[in-house]
Each structure stands twice: as C-alpha cells, then as structure tokens.
Amino acid sequence: MFAGAITALVTPFRSGAVDLDALNGLVNWQIEKGIDGLLACGCTGEAATLTTEEQLLVIEKVMEASAGRVPVIAGTGTNATASSIELSLEAAAMGVDGVLLITPYYNKPTPKGQIEHYTKVADAVDCPVILYNVPGRTGTNMLPSTIAVLSKHPGIVAIKDAAGSAERVTAIRNLCDITILSGDDPLAMAQVALGGSGVISVVSNIAPSEMSDLISLTAAGELDAARAVQAGLYPVIKAMFLETNPIPVKKALSLMGLITDELRLPLVSMSGELVPELKGVLEEAGIL
C-alpha cells in the first residue's frame, strides 16, 4: 500500500489559522502532478504546534480533498503513549490509510519502551501503523533489531527511516521484511535501490513530479535515468535544508504563489540573506 513518492505536506497558515483553501489547493496540485500519497501533520506539517482540534481538522480536510485518489497517512505520534492512541483512534475513525508514529521525543525511551509504546498503539487501532525513526528530532535512534521485533505485529506494516544512513535499509531487510520508506530526500534513490519501497518527502512539496519520477525510475531499475533526475533535483533538495524544515519549503511554496509564507512560533520566516540563494536554485531548476 505504501510505496512511491509520498509528500509530507506543509500546513499552510493565514493570519494565525490553518488556511483550508490553500490546503485544498495543495492537495489537488500534488495529485495532479502525480504524487503517490500524502502525509498530513508530520514534522513538515508543524504538527507539534497544532492543537488537537487543528490536527484533526487538517487530516479531515486532506482526506476530503484527496477523495480516495491517493493514500493518506496521518501523523499521530506524540511523546506520550496515551495521547498517541487517542489521536490515532480519531484519525483511524476518519478512514485514513495509515498512521505515522514518531519515536517518542524528549523522554527518549529505551528499545523496550519503544516496543511497548508502539505495540500499545498498534493493539488499539484498526489501522496500519508506520513507525517513524528520526533521531535528529527525537534524540533516539531506533535499532534495526527493535524494528524487527515490531514488524511481527500484524498492524505495524512500515517504517519511515530518517536516520541518515543508506546502509540501514540492508540492516533492516536482513532482519525482517517490513516496508521501508526513506525519510531522507538526499538518500531516497540509494535507499530505494537497496530495497526501500519509496520516500516520505519534503522536496516533493515543490517538485512532486520530479520526486515521483526519481522513485519510480529507481524502483524499475532504470538507474541512468534516475541518476539524471537526482542530479537535477539535488540542489533543490539541499536548498530545502538551508534552515530548519519547513522554513525553506514554505518560503519556496510562497514564492510559487501556493501559500503564504507563514509559520507558527517558534519557527520564523527564512532569513532574508538566504532568500536570493533559494530563489536562484528554484529558478535554475525551472520551479520558478
């Protein structure tokens, strides 16, 4: 079910509130450009600063706008098992195709705690669960052996791995057959070539067709063509991390006229001295 290029959607704001019109436009544009799936309320969607009501509203509106045309995943993980269950149950009741659960941040659980956390959530929800390992944000790296244990649960079907290592795909695949989705745009091609099924991407917010082509070509073994796409996309990928994600991608989307350049504190708009560099990269890539 989860494969190809999946966009980790930004959450557009206007005057402090979620901009539902812009969100609807983003979803439709993404699907028209050939994206394979959508993630609502991930890290790129600033889920940590959304209220529960806002988070459920965003998930609901993404579901409505997509209208079954592509799979929709909801980010429902928190650093508390009880609230992760509560939010996941709400999303599952809306009919999402899966829930993405970040490794609990700040409290940094041990492997045993991670196993108990994810098992409790997966036991509670009648919906596919995707693990999300992103040590750069959580301070904890999920071990391949932990992933292998969790993969035995029938409700845990995939992992988004953003540990910054292509070799982890091989390490995980040697232990279990869980679906592996890249969480690192620069490594997505390599991770798919090693046996990953796709990517949950930041850069596909602004380049959905290109990222979709990159993943599909790699999966088909057309590596020369995939390398050409990767070469063209690489400067754009790098530009998306000139500052903390999603600051650059929101600036890019605003330059494209798709959203306002509004973030929620403590994130602020991109530093002025970096904007010309970003614009130059987008113009060179034909995005602007």
Distance CA 270, CA 243 (A): 7
Average pLDDT of span 23-35: 98
pLDDT value for 196: 98
Q: Which of 248, 250, 253 is nearest to 235 (CA)?
A: 248
Q: How far apart are CA 261 and CA 34, in angstroms?
A: 25
Residue 1's pLDDT is 77
> What's the rounded Cα separation, in Å, for the pair 166 and 5?
17
If you average pLDDT over every residue of the chain, what do you get? 97
Query: pLDDT tens, 171-196?
Result: 999 999 999 999 999 999 999 999 99
In this predicted structure, what is the pLDDT of residue 194? 97
Q: What predicted TM-score, i.e. pTM, was given to this entire model?
A: 0.96
Provide the pLDDT confidence category of residue 222 given band limits of 50, 70 and 90: very high
pLDDT tier, 259 (very low <50, low <70, confident <90, very high otherwise): very high
Fold that domain 4-217 belongs to in CATH:
TIM Barrel (3.20.20)
Q: Are strands 13-14 and 17-18 parallel, antiparallel or unpaired?
A: antiparallel
Euclidean distance between CA atoms 271 and 41, whole angstroms: 24
Strand 179-182 and strand 156-161: the pairing is parallel
- Total number of residues shown for the chain: 288
Please confirm, yes or no, whether 120 is among the known catalytic residues. no
CA atoms within a 13 Å half-sphere pointing along the CA-CB vector of 286: 5
Q: Assess whether 132 carries a catalytic annotation.
A: yes
Task: Give me the catalytic one of 118, 160, 250, 251.
Answer: 160
| Peptide bond before residue 266 is cis, with ω within 30 degrees of 0 | yes
- The catalytic position among 105, 112, 120, 132 is 132
Of 33, 185, 54, the closest CA to residue 74 belongs to 54
